[in-house]
Amino acid sequence: MILDDFIIHAMLAGLALAAICGVMGCFVVWRRMAYFGDSLAHSALLGIAIGLVTGITMSLTITLVCLSFALLLFWLQHHGVLATDTLLGILSHGALSAGIMLMSVMQIPVDLHSLMFGDILTITADDVLMIMGGGALVLAALIRYWSPLVLMTVSEDLAKAEGASTRFLQILILILMTVTVALSVRMVGVLLITSMLIIPAATARPLTRSPEAMAIGAVVIGMLAVLGGTSLSLTINTPTGPSMVMTLAAMFALVMVLTAGRDHQRA
């Protein structure tokens, strides 16, 4: 069977996304940053609105808005203004509302369904190259600083004792999360980005015994979900983003059942 170009583009972009989110998602799970990822995704809508109003490439405006969001949160956290979850709630909902209001005031015709749930089948060859290029940078940074990042996740005090700059590593994680969200929002939408970060890593966790194995497992699981979800979407005519997430959810449920049975037998 000969695949159309748009399907090939969707598959390539999805596989690249799975690689980025699989490794990045491990840190999201380890550092309990799921709510941060969700809030960052909400702020992306403001970046989309600014891109539509100004005519600037949306990937750039999303990156700038999300980066501003992350750095503002970092600054507020270190000044002890409010608890982190409170700050996330205020900033994310403020940015989300600002984006919707801006599009409404400027009377910009948009497909909100596509923004919220993504449309990976509209990915072009240029988009694929951008995703692969951005993903390569994210993965290169994670590999370069893998050991100090894992050490900081275990204990910030231990990381400092080993000479690691925890402030730099914290900012690095925020920047890499920002780039990941900016690359992902077109494919899986504002509401589903966090699921691509969390579910593959959470599924791989009970199957592996080391951080490196968990990262590789998360990448493989994410890629299988992309292939399975895209095929399911084309077969039964369902939205591709939700189909990929449901495939991930089914894989997570299966792993939980299998590992629960294994743990029961050991007990």
| Per-residue pLDDT, 2 | 54
User: Any idea what DSSP says for residue 163?
Assistant: T
Helices 146-154 & 5-30 angle (0-180, nearest 10): 40
**CA 122, 124, 128, 134: dihedral to nearest 10 degrees?**
-90
How far apart, in whole angstroms, are the C-alpha atoms of residue 209 and residue 8? 34
Query: Which residue did the predictor score with more confidence, 252 or 104?
Result: 252
The pair of structure tokens assigned to 236 is 């039964």
Question: Please, which pLDDT band fits residue 190 given cuts at 50, 70 and 90?
Answer: confident
| Per-residue pLDDT, 199 | 94
Length of the chain in residues, anyone? 267
Closest CA to 40 of 119, 96, 102: 96
How far apart, in whole angstroms, are the C-alpha atoms of residue 220 and residue 249? 15
pTM: 0.86
Q: Which CATH code for domain 5-191? A: 1.10.3470.10
pLDDT higher than threshold 90 for residue 73: no
Across the range 213-231, mean pLDDT stands at 94
Single-letter code of the amino acid located at 188: V
Domain boundaries of the chain, sorted by first residue: 5-191
| Per-residue pLDDT, 48 | 86
Single-letter code of the amino acid located at 102: L
